[in-house]
Amino acid sequence: MTEHNAQHGAQHTTRVVVIGGGYAGVIAANRLRQRPGVRVTLVNPRAEFVERIRLHQLAAGSDDAVVDFADILAPGVELVVDAATRIDTRARHVELFTGEALPYDYLIYAVGSGSGGPAVPGADEFAYPIADLEEAKRLATALGELPHGAPVAVVGAGPTGIETAAELAEQGRAVTLVCGPVLGPYLSTPGRRSVAKRLRRLGVQIIDGPGARVAAVEPDAVVLADGRQVRSLVTIWSAGFGVPDLAARSGLRTDTIGRLLTDETLTSIDDPRVAAAGDCAAPSGEPLRMSCQAALPLGAQAADTVLARIDGEQPAAIKQAFTGQCISLGRAAGTIQIARPDDTALPLYIGGRLAARIKEAICTATISGLRREARKPGSYIWIKAGKRPAAQTVPAP
């Protein structure tokens, strides 16, 4: 930091607003606290932190999937429980649902993702999504009212669908997993076989292949593209995610599903005072896989970008490697798919009880990592590797 910037920082408080209290938003807010003179406000519509990677457990009744923000936020981070309705980049303030406006000098956009809004007849009316806390609670209530042997269908064969199907089947429920073309598209062939073997052992009926796309959802059945009907008194929808439209409504450019377009430093291509992190960010138009594994490093890197700009320095381009995908298959088993740093799956996996223990350790360590960053901002580290597009940066404000 130059002497001029140091003096400037001593005389003025820099206001940073973080929109979104998920994995990316919380670690970004905590990391910003390493710099004196930075006032951090976190805006989130809920008063509790949601462990999204445990929502399938909430639905099944084995976890509440929430953590008190006081347990994971750094001292000095102001929590505002409200919904952001618009970002006014000219006036540099965030308009809230209650009518208030929060001024900012810099903003981190970390609104995450939610249900994708399936364009399938009957899905909105008869299916239960599971992408956020309220949806998972509604599903838990519906399952609680269902006779134990009644048929349940889970639509979607990504990690959420697989984990939900396994969790419910382990309880003895009659579960059908409607995959679409393939079970676990991310998985390698050996990893997919491991997941399928465990699901079948739990009694899950797996439907995949060319005709396994869902054509309609009815009150007591799922209708497939090839005309087959799958009986279901509770249909769970886990196929796909969507992104809140806050950026687009605020006049910021996004990709086709609404992720904020940024350069390789996670800075908005429209405004150098706005950075993005997590599922809602599309650096160079090539977003990372939507996941907790990506959200934490991206949140930390977005905070580093803002701090660099406050110091009058050029932010660094993002560097991040993936290690694979962790899937719980009930409480007693799992599959850990191993991947290359560029997030392509290798024909290697860890299965069984060991994988279940690893997955649980990772879930627990995620919250521990947020707590550590709250106690000692700047302490979070991540694997920095993998290839990204040639770095492009937005000039300083």
143 in Cβ contact with 149 (< 8 Å): no
Alpha-carbon gap, residue 346 to 344, rounded angstroms: 7
The reply to whether 233 and 142 lie within a common domain is yes
Q: Which pair of tokens denotes residue 100?
A: 């208030």
Q: Is the pLDDT of residue 390 over 90?
A: no
377 falls in which pLDDT band (50, 70, 90)?
very high
- Number of domains into which the chain is organized: 2
Q: Are residues 231 and 128 in the same domain?
A: yes
Average pLDDT, the chain: 93
Domain boundary among the residues 294, 317, 340 is at: 317
Q: What is the torsional sign of CA 49, 50, 53, 54?
A: positive
Q: What is the pLDDT averaged over residues 24-29?
A: 98
Between 183-187, 192-196, 204-208, 236-240, the lowest mean confidence (pLDDT) is in 236-240
User: pLDDT tier at 396 (50, 70, 90 boundaries)?
Assistant: confident
Provide the pLDDT for residue 94.
98
> Do the domain assignments include residue 322?
no
Read off the pLDDT of residues 255-266 as tens digits, 9 standing for 90 and up.
Answer: 999 999 999 999
- pLDDT at residue 384 tops 90: no
CA 8, distance to chain mean position in Å, is 36
At residue 5, the pLDDT reads 45
What pLDDT, on a 0 to 100 scale, did the predictor assign at position 391?
56
Three-class SS state of 140: helix
Question: CB neighbours of 222 closer than 8 A, spacing ≥ 6?
Answer: 153, 155, 176, 178, 214, 216, 229, 230, 232, 235
- What does the pLDDT average to over 362-376? 97
Residue 10, pLDDT above cutoff 70: no
Which pLDDT score is estimated for 270? 97
Q: Are residues 231 and 247 in the same domain?
A: no
Q: Are residues 247 and 230 in the same domain?
A: no
- Residue 210 sits in which domain range? 123-237
pLDDT on residue 70:
97
Nearest to 328 by CA among 184, 160, 77, 87: 160
Is residue 353 in some structural domain?
Answer: no
- Rounded to whole angstroms, what are the CA distances from 310 to 37, 140, 350? 10, 45, 44
Residue 4's pLDDT band (cuts 50, 70, 90): very low
Provide the pLDDT for residue 280: 96
297/1: higher pLDDT: 297
End-to-end CA distance of the chain: 17
| pTM across the whole model | 0.93
pLDDT (tens digit per residue) in 99-155: 999 999 999 999 999 887 668 999 999 999 999 999 999 999 999 999 989 999 999
What average pLDDT score do residues 8-19 get?
78
pLDDT of amino acid 312: 95
**Same-domain pairing of 251 and 213:** no
Residue 11: pLDDT above 90? Answer: no
Instruction: Examine the fold and report which residue of 237, 266, 299 is the final residue of a domain before the chain moves on.
Output: 237
Is 387 inside a domain boundary? no
Do 101 and 26 belong to one domain? yes
Q: Is the pLDDT of residue 381 over 60?
A: yes
- Are the C-beta atoms of residues 168 and 60 closer than 8 Å to each other? yes
49 in the same domain as 33: yes
Kindly report, residue by residue over 43-76, the tens digit of the pLDDT: 999 999 999 999 999 999 999 999 999 999 999 9
Mean pLDDT of all residues in 376-389:
83
pLDDT band per the 50, 70, 90 thresholds, residue 6: very low
Average pLDDT over residues 192-198: 98
pLDDT at position 33 over 50: yes
Q: What was the pLDDT predicted at 8?
A: 43
Task: Note the pLDDT of residue 397.
Answer: 77
CATH of the domain at 192: 3.50.50.60
Query: Per-residue confidence at 386, pLDDT binned at 50, 70, 90?
Result: low
128 and 109 both lie in a single domain: no
* 371 domain-assigned: no
18 bridge partner residues? 42, 108
pLDDT digits (tens, 9 = 90+) for 313-366: 999 999 989 999 999 999 999 999 999 999 999 999 999 999 999 999 999 999
pLDDT reading at 3 higher than 50:
no
59 and 29 together in one domain: yes
Q: Are residues 162 and 22 in the same domain?
A: no
Confidence (pLDDT) at 392: 61
